[in-house]
């Protein structure tokens, strides 16, 4: 359908078919006046048909398709946080130098509404200078390598094309994994190399925070039971626990 020549040929065939059918109708019934009357009557309503079919219906169908893709994409995001994101957030948070500030800004509770989420997102988008002096790089490396197959499966998901931010998150996590894995040893690294790895961790962490907040908003709006569960277990609170008290 993207080939202009194909469209021209198709249009020619359709127009020629209409002409042939009109001539056949005239030869059989011989009533040119009535034929022309109904022809122009149909043409009079053609713009309205274009409006209904070509614009309104098409937009409704497109909107539904987009909503279905977003829903599928959020399922992928949810799987990521269940398998990787939640544990990764815990590891990085424990080593962050501004842990207290992160907890203050990202402690999502049931009463949060759009203004609170927006404030938290604004904070997360600026969270680029966080350092991780207490990070156990060997533990982080082992965890990320153990999830490589899972992450590769996510990358292959075609729905990723509809979610650029999540793609950036996966790529940043992959890059961090490669940086850690490519070094024979993570002990006694030069200060510049430590700073380089720290920047990679900060980048991944920022994407992680932003995506997590967006996902929490999605759960609050669409899946209250999942939202309730994540409210109890998310790491950005003093004492996360799945137990309902």
pLDDT at 105: 93
10, 112: one domain: no
Lowest mean pLDDT among 88-97, 120-129, 141-150, 192-201: 120-129
- Name the pTM for this structure: 0.72
Boundary residue ending a domain (60, 79, 94): 60
40-73 pLDDT, tens digit each = 767 666 666 666 666 666 676 666 666 666 667 7
77, 54: one domain: no
122, 159: one domain: yes
Question: What are the C-alpha distances in Å from 83 to residues 5, 17, 86?
Answer: 49, 58, 7
What percent of the chain is predicted at pLDDT more than 90?
A: 49
User: Is residue 244 assigned to a domain?
Assistant: no
133, 161: one domain: yes
User: Is residue 238 assigned to a domain?
Assistant: no
82, 201: one domain: yes
Separation of CA 200 from chain center: 22
Residue at token pair 């990521």: 80
Is the pLDDT at 1 greater than 50? The verdict is no
172, 114: one domain: yes
Domain span holding position 26: 4-60
Total tally of structural domains belonging to the chain: 2
* Number of residues that this document lists for the chain: 245
């Amino acid at each position: 359908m993207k080939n202009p020549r194909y469209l021209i040929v198709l249009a020619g065939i359709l127009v020629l078919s209409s002409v042939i059918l009109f001539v056949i109708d005239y030869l059989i019934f011989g009533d040119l006046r009535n034929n022309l009357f109904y022809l122009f009557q149909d043409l009079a309503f053609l713009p309205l048909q274009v409006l209904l079919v070509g614009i309104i219906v098409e937009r409704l169908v497109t909107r539904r398709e987009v909503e279905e893709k977003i829903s599928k994409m959020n399922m992928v995001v949810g799987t990521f946080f269940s398998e990787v994101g939640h544990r990764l957030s815990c590891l990085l948070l424990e080593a962050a130098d501004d842990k207290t500030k992160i907890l203050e800004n990202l402690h999502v509770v049931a009463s949060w509404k759009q203004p609170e989420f927006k404030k938290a997102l604004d904070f997360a988008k600026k969270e680029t200078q966080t350092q991780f002096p207490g990070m156990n790089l060997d533990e982080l490396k082992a965890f990320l390598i153990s999830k490589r197959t899972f992450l590769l499966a996510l990358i292959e998901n075609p729905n990723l094309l509809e979610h650029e931010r999540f793609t950036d998150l996966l790529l940043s996590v992959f890059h961090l994994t490669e940086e850690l894995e490519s070094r024979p040893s993570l002990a006694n690294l030069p200060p510049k190399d430590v700073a380089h790895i720290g920047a990679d961790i900060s980048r991944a962490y920022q994407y992680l925070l932003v995506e997590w907040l967006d996902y929490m908003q999605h759960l609050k709006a669409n899946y209250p039971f999942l939202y309730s569960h994540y409210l109890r277990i998310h790491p950005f609170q003093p004492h996360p626990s799945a137990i309902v008290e």
